[in-house]
A and B are shown apart, each in its own frame.
Chain A
Amino acid sequence: SQQGEEDPQALSIQEGENATMNCSYKTSINNLQWYRQNSGRGLVHLILIRSNEREKHSGRLRVTLDTSKKSSSLLITASRAADTASYFCATDRGDDKIIFGKGTRLHILP
C-alpha cells in the first residue's frame, strides 16, 4: 500500500516559474524523502528531511515538513526544461523500508 499521496497528479508551468508539489501521508515517520524520475529511468534522490526538521534547502529545491498536518511540500524555483520529470515523496517509518506515493508529473513548457 502507498503511504504518501502527492498533489497535484500533474502540473504544467512555464519555464522560469516556480513549481510546488505537496505530499500527504498517514502515519508517523522518521523522515521523508523526495525523488525525481525521468521517463524510463530509475529514481534520483533529491532531498531528505527528518521528522524534527521543518525546512531544508538544496540548490533550487526547498522542502518543508509539517508533522502535525502529516504533509510536506517540494518547491522548485526558477524551473528549467530539464526539471520535466515525475516527482515522488517517500516516507520512512523506521521499519527499514520507504513507501512511495504515486507521484506528480511535472512538465516545464518552453
Chain B
Amino acid sequence: DTGVSQNPRHKITKRGQNVTFRCDPISEHNRLYWYRQTLGQGPEFLTYFQNEAQLEKSRLLSDRFSAERPKGSFSTLEIQRTEQGDSAMYLCASSLDSYQPQHFGDGTRLSIL
C-alpha cells in the first residue's frame, strides 16, 4: 500500500534560489492539496487540484509560487527567489474526492539560509 510520497524530505538552499518539490499522490486519488506548516502551527492551505485542474489558490500563494499537476498524476510546487519567510514544512495530501478524508505525505522541510 503506497501512500502519498514527497521528495525531497529536506531542502536547504540560499536565499534567492529557486526550489521545486514533488508530490506523488495515492494513485486513484483525484484531489491533490498543498499546505504549508510552520513550527507550532497547523497546516495552512495553499492550493488544490481536481485531476489536472488547479481550482483554488490561497492568498498565501504569492506570484513567486507556482504549482502544477500535469496529466492529473504527480504535482510539483516551485518557489522562485526564495525568502527567509519561506522556511517551513510543505505538505501534500490527496483524497478520492471532496467527501473523503485527506491522506498526507511526510512533507518537505525547506530551510532558507
Q: Is the CB of B42 within 8 A of A97?
A: no
Interface size on A, residues (CB 8 A): 21
Q: Is the CB of A48 within 8 A of B43?
A: no
Q: Which of A2, A33, A40, A41 contacts B101 (CB 8 A)?
A: A33
How far is B31's CA from A96's CA once the two chains are assembled, in angstroms?
10
Interface size on B, residues (CB 8 A): 24
How far is B48's CA from A99's CA once the two chains are assembled, in angstroms?
13
Q: Is the CB of B55 within 8 A of A96?
A: yes
Q: Which of B4, B42, B93, B102 contacts A2 (CB 8 A)?
A: B42
Q: Which of A4, A42, A97, A101 contacts B104 (CB 8 A)?
A: A42
Q: Which of B41, B56, B109 contacts A97 (CB 8 A)?
A: B56
Q: How far is the CB of A78 from chain B (nearest CB, A)?
A: 24
A-B contact pairs, 18 of them (CB 8 A): A2-B41, A2-B44, A35-B104, A40-B109, A42-B107, A43-B93, A45-B101, A45-B103, A48-B101, A88-B43, A97-B45, A100-B35, A100-B43, A100-B44, A101-B42, A102-B40, A102-B41, A103-B42
Top 10 nearest A-B pairs by Cβ distance? A100-B42, A42-B104, A45-B101, A43-B104, A42-B106, A97-B45, A100-B43, A88-B42, A42-B105, A41-B106
